[in-house]
Amino acid sequence: MLTGDLFIAGERRTAPTRFHAYDPARDAEIADTGFAEASLEDVADACAAAHAAFQPYAALPLDRRAAFLDAIADAIEALGDALVERACRESGLPAARITGERGRTANQLRLFAREVRDGAWQKLRIDHADPARTPPRPDLRLRMIPLGPVAVFGASNFPLAFSTAGGDTASALAAGCPVVVKGHRAHPGTSELIAGAITRAAEATGMPAGVFSLVNGARAVGEALVADPRIQAVGFTGSRAGGEALMRIAAARPRPIPVYAEMSAINPVILMPHALAARATALADGFVASLGMGAGQFCTNPGLILAIDGPDLDTFIARATALLAAQQPQVMLTPGICAAYADGKAKLAAAPHVTALAEGVEATNGQGSAALFSVAGRDFFADPVHLHEVFGASSLIVRCADLAELTAILAKLEGQLTTTLHLDAADHDAARDLLPVLEQLAGRILANGWPTGVEVTHAMVHGGPYPATSDPRSTSVGTLAIDRFLRPVSYQDLPADLLPASLREGGQAGTPARIDGAWKI
């Protein structure tokens, strides 16, 4: 049963000011008790508890930290249908999507549990003293340690996998950092259910009380959270404006902290000439399916298509417009997202160099219709509106005069999460020339697929150059995400009994370590 309470260090806490969840499918508020708006004192208490929990939590044996992550996954799955039903009601997303997202959330928690046990993330290095050298080399030993308490902002478009127990929370807890989550107002009931599961898991595994807290509230709550001196890093998935606002607050602190923000991308897809000639119709089918998935509310939606103008592109466009025009409108996550999507489409349609090609079946309140536009390559940079992300099922086709113009456009684009090549064997030579440009452009390069799908694996990068993310060296998906919340410490000539156990002689216990320059397991 939902109470609408906050979670501060394992305890529920109410507040006099409350807000109501929203059902986007019904375009109406959900009639329940409402959800507590955190005060600035609540935020300070959560941060203080996280600070108090930091050293005890970071010092726990890795097996206990991993057991906590596994217990969270078990507790989430134990919520059963109640979680799926509430998340569907608050997001307008279908049950199949939420069920899959619940599985992804549990699986990534268990993946990070295995990563913690593996220990390679500690990057252990030992350079033994060498008194025979001139000058003598000291004894040096290195490991990665957790940064400290982390603020995590829930995302609107993934109520489970990128929110209260999502990838940022999982990777921060895996690194040894307590977490204070700022719940997203689009799905407060879902967040409460998940927060309860995390709290029960923490109690069952004997974690320090302040290892997790959940606060809800408007902008001031998020700003106070990032500004609190006890917070040492921020994980954020959302709009460019929101991410940049948090970055400014973090940079203005007396002791600035990193903000790992995943923000904005249009994810260019390149249709190489031979692939387009061979399978224009099939490419159009795949494109429209990808564009419309989840009402286009993915950060990796294919918002830009680049191809050489001509009959083959005409075939692609004819098929895509026919399919898109028949698409039914879909419920969008929130009224604000729906309004912003309509505004973005209107600005593209009004741009002087843009041609509106097709729009799906007319939408009603709370829904978004898919849309497709085109522009000539020579006009692409004439108006900044062509470069803006339209968060929804909207895409812009760029008709390029030749590969040289296509390459020049790619070289001038802002940083992206993904870029995709559709190519056949005869396109490989041209694609080889493009790869250096694409590597500088995006964090993930796909071939003959569509970007709307991010596997949670060891080799995944969900990141990219600014403004796709605030730090192109990081990823918010995959086990490499743990690196965001760690920092290196080197110990020089410390007595053996003062060294961390993992850096003592023989203390690596099967963990990969670089010893005197050679990797050993």
299 has catalytic annotation: yes
Asked if 359 and 324 touch (Cβ cutoff 8 Å), the reply is yes
Collapsed DSSP state (helix, strand, coil) of residue 7: strand
Asked if 76 and 135 touch (Cβ cutoff 8 Å), the reply is no
Measured CA to CA, the distance from residue 410 to residue 414 in angstroms comes to 9
Q: Which residue from 304, 46, 311, 341 is spatially nearest to 183, judged by alpha carbons?
A: 46
- Counting every residue written for the chain, the total comes to 521
Measured CA to CA, the distance from residue 79 to residue 213 in angstroms comes to 19
Collapsed DSSP state (helix, strand, coil) of residue 174: helix
Asked if 304 and 266 touch (Cβ cutoff 8 Å), the reply is yes
Give Cα separations from 477 to 33, 81, 105, 258, 465 (angstroms): 35, 26, 11, 17, 15
Task: Determine the distance from the C-alpha atom of residue 174 to the mean position of all C-alpha atoms in its chain, rounded to a whole number.
Answer: 16
Measured CA to CA, the distance from residue 34 to residue 42 in angstroms comes to 18
Give the tokens for residue 417. Answer: 């999460």
Asked if 416 and 267 touch (Cβ cutoff 8 Å), the reply is yes
Measured CA to CA, the distance from residue 484 to residue 403 in angstroms comes to 37
Kindly tell me the burial class for residue 436, based on how many C-beta atoms sit within 10 Å of its own C-beta (0-12, 13-18, 19 or more).
exposed
223 has catalytic annotation: no
Residue 513: phi, psi to the nearest 5? Answer: -145, 145
Catalytic residue chosen out of the listed positions 262, 359, 389, 405: 262
Catalytic residue chosen out of the listed positions 47, 177, 299, 400: 299
User: Which residues are tagged catalytic?
Assistant: 262, 299
